[in-house]
Structure 1
Amino acid sequence: MAITKNKMVSLTYDLRVVGADGEMIEQATAERPLNFVYGAGIMLPKFEALLEGLEQGKSFEINLACEDAYGEVDENAIIELPKNIFMIDGNFDDEIVKVGNTVPMMSTSGQRMNGLVLNVSDDVVKMDFNHPLAGEDLFFKGEILEVRDATDEEIAATVGCGSGGCGSGGCGSGEGGCGCDDESCSTEKSHGGCGCGC
């Protein structure tokens, strides 16, 4: 059976950043594969398009330029926020809001996002809301483990999950919801990649 719309796909992959000394930054294994409904709009569009037609047992290699992955680094997504918004009961949590940590935030419109803390000063916290893989060309190498018809429940579970995927707090499910969850991808570094469109 070939990968087409509304098929449940299970696959493995190694993800490397092109030009980063070949270091593997993320992996989905046979024990913890990436499972998703093909055509549900959850995966990176180019990644998904290049999988179409592949069958169980087929291997693949996919190169994605940054514009087909998580885009260029957006300088407008690097902002300074007033330090007082991080106060809880009058105290600043310097164990969580410290340089190098990723902090879950919410926009004024209610959208969940993750911000990387770049700097903490007396009055402001400088954060980067770009995807961790923004500006990077990506290389995926893997194998298709299974292709089958998705159940009505699996297809229904993908409705409204356009921002799901690994590490995004979306509605992904390792059992075949929309995209992968933290348990369906073993990661050396948590980048929220997985080919997911988050």
Structure 2
Amino acid sequence: MNIQENRVVGLTYELKVSKNEDDIESAPFSVEIRDEEDPFYFIFGQSGLPEKFEELLSGKEDGEDFSFVISVEEAYGEPDEELLITLPKEQFSGERGFSHDMLKEGEFLPLMDENGYSMQAKVMKDLGENLLLDFNHPLVGFELHFEGKIIEVREASKEEIAHGHVHGEHGEHEE
């Protein structure tokens, strides 16, 4: 069975990233591995990953290997300066579930937007009473190098399509 709209896809992969700075490309370094113990399952058309990722998998079959690079522009783009935001440190109190260690430079803060969706911000600088936070995607500015194997392709159930995620052993809900 091949990968197309409304099919459940299971993958194992290694994701490496590289950056081009001053026309010098950094060597790709590994940032995520999804192996047989922890495969990545999604409904094709609803992965939440860059469109190019699904486009490059389209039509491939169960058991097929894949290897491709997604450019910065087709991945998460360049950093957006408007997503660097200064917020009062008092908003990240212990009563709200934040510890002092979480507010250190380089740490990622687990946050929610006004609609209740999970998001994260990287602490860029401690400005005393305020924190400079970066709300850009962590992989913004990077080329994405995917190498992996398709381990399962099946029809998505009506419920999975309606809910937008995979159910069962590899999904959000055990059946």
SS of corresponding position for 1:2: coil
CA contact (8 A) 1:70 1:134 kept: yes
- Counting aligned pairs with the same residue, the percent is 38
What residue number does 1:68 align with? 74
Q: Which residue of 2 aligns with 1:106?
A: 112
Deviates more, 1:94-103 or 1:17-26: 17-26
Measure how far apart 1:95 and its partner are. Answer: 2.1
Per the normalisation by structure 2, the TM-score is 0.82
- 1:164 matched residue in structure 2: none
CA-CA distance at 1:21 after TM superposition: 2.4
Aligned to 1:27: 33
Letter in 2 for 1:4: Q
TM-score (norm 1): 0.74
Residue aligned with 2:100, SS: coil
Q: Aligned residue for 2:9?
A: 9
What amino acid is aligned across from residue 149 of structure 1 in structure 2? E
Q: Choose 112-121 or 6-15, whichever is displaced more.
A: 112-121
Specify which of 36, 49, 54 is matched with residue 42 of structure 2. Answer: 36
Count of residue pairs the alignment pairs up: 164
Deviations 1:136-160 (A, max 9, x none): 01110111111111122222220xx
CA 1:61–1:94: 2 relative to 1, 3 Å: same
Change (3 A) 1:121 1:68: same
Q: Is the 8 A contact 1:34 1:174 kept in 2?
A: no
Q: Does 1:144 align with 2:154?
A: no
Q: 1:6 to 1:154 in 2, by over 3 A?
A: same
Runs of 5+ unmatched residues, structure 2: 19-24
Alignment of 1:1-198 (within 5 A): 1-18=1-18, 19-40=25-46, 42-88=48-94, 93-108=99-114, 110-158=116-164, 175-176=170-171
User: Structure 1: which 5+ residue stretches go unaligned?
Assistant: 162-170, 178-198
Task: Specify the SS of the correspondent of 1:127.
Answer: strand
More strand by share: 2
Measure, in 2, the Cα distance between the counterparts of 1:139 and 1:42: 17
